[in-house]
Amino acid sequence: MTEHVDELVRVKKHQCIRIEKSGTRATEVRDSDVVDLWIKFNQDFRPEAALFVDGLCRGVGSFTEEQCANISAALDR
């Protein structure tokens, strides 16, 4: 039982944000163990979307690097 509780405490939560060119924004909280799956899924099925995890750009989609840097800076405020 203690091992299970310790494992739950170690799981980190991440704020994951998907932004479409249209301006549509979706925010979700994901556990550490599924963040990479969230990124892969969105890159495969929403290739135009920019992806941010904890404010850092993890996929530019159809945005430029500069646009993603500006969005990341705005998310950090």
pLDDT in tens, 35-73: 999 999 999 999 999 999 999 999 999 999 999 999 999
Evaluate the CA torsion angle 66, 33, 46, 26 in order and state its sign: negative
C-alpha to C-alpha distance for 71 and 20, rounded to whole angstroms: 12
Burial of 39 (0-12, 13-18, 19+ CB in 10 A): middle
73: enclosing H helix or E strand:
helix 65-75
Q: State the average pLDDT over residues 6-23.
A: 84
Tokens 């704020």 appear where?
15
Query: 24-36 pLDDT, tens per residue?
Result: 999 999 999 999 9
pLDDT at 62: 97
pLDDT at 52: 98
pLDDT at 76: 79
Tokens 């646009």 appear where?
67
